[in-house]
Amino acid sequence: MIACGVIVAGCASQSNTLSTSPEAFNKALADADTLSKGGNQDQAIAAYQKLAAADPTREEPWSRIAQIQFQQQHYGQAIVAAQEALQRDQTDRGAKSVLAVAGLRVATQSLGELRQDASLQGDAKTDAQALAKELRDTLGEDALFPPDQSAKTAVKKKRYVRHVAKAAPKTTDAADAAAAPAQTPSTPAVAPTATANGKATGNGADPFSALR
């Protein structure tokens, strides 16, 4: 029992030393990096995990684990470790890169497995429709995009149509009048005028001709 107590006390002391002393933590981190560079990846991961448990606020162990898991093509574990690192330091570009590329490779592998399905063979349009149906059935959703996104898209389309309608030039009354065919005004009828001889002149006759 005394021996066990000494071991537990020693472990607690080492953990406290790593969590309270940046120098000791950095020294242990460098030792784990040496294991990783030497090809002892499993031992390096175990060392990084101990460091992560010793000081949960440090992101370096998680970032190192993410990189090792990515190199070993363990993309799921790499994504988890990268997310842990980014929760502690959002500026970790290495963790961001691992998270992005690992996510793309997981998606590519999943799509490749779906592509090999016999039901997805055919032309591009048929293949896309079958793939969309497969994804909807897998996710249990009728649509691949959230309804609110569709609503926002519809609202944007309505606003665009209204904007185009307002921007279109309106035809004025003057333009309508100019475009309409010109109508020839009717010549008013001239009443026949009686002459000195008692004869009436027709339309357009000179009423003073009888006086000349």
Ordered by start, the domain boundaries in the chain are: 2-119
Q: What's the chain's average pLDDT? A: 73
Higher pLDDT, 88 or 188: 88
Residues 6+ apart with CB under 8 A from 190: 203, 204
DSSP the chain: -HHHHHHHHHHHHHHHHHHH-HHHHHHHHHHHHHHHHTT-HHHHHHHHHHHHHH-TT--HHHHHHHHHHHHTT-HHHHHHHHHHHHHH-TT-HHHHHHHHHHHHHHHHHHHHHHHTSGGG-S-HHHHHHHHHHHHHHHHT-S-SS-HHHHHHHHHHHHHHHHHHHHHSPPPPHHHHHHHSPPPPPPPPPPPPEE-TTSPEE-TT--TTGGG-
Lowest mean pLDDT among 24-38, 50-64, 106-120, 167-181: 167-181
The pLDDT value given to residue 174: 52
Q: Which among 98-112, 130-144, 167-181 has the top mean pLDDT? A: 98-112
The pLDDT value given to residue 54: 92
Question: What fold, for 2-119?
Answer: 1.25.40
The pLDDT value given to residue 49: 95
Higher pLDDT, 159 or 12: 159
Cα separation values, 188 from 183, 191, 203, 204, Å: 15, 9, 10, 11
The pLDDT value given to residue 17: 46
The predicted-structure confidence for 146-160, as pLDDT tens digits, reads as follows 666 555 666 666 777
Cα separation values, 44 from 22, 33, 48, 50, 98, Å: 19, 7, 6, 10, 18
Task: Please give the Cα distance from 83 to 88 (Å, whole number).
Answer: 9
Q: Name the band, by pLDDT with cuts 50, 70 and 90, for residue 168.
A: low
CA neighbor of 62 nearest in space, from 79, 48, 76, 77: 48
Distance, CA of 125 to chain centre? 23
The predicted-structure confidence for 193-204, as pLDDT tens digits, reads as follows 444 444 445 555
Q: Name the band, by pLDDT with cuts 50, 70 and 90, for residue 61.
A: very high
The predicted-structure confidence for 111-141, as pLDDT tens digits, reads as follows 777 767 666 566 666 767 777 777 777 667 6
Lowest mean pLDDT among 27-31, 34-38, 163-167: 163-167
Q: Name the band, by pLDDT with cuts 50, 70 and 90, for residue 92.
A: very high
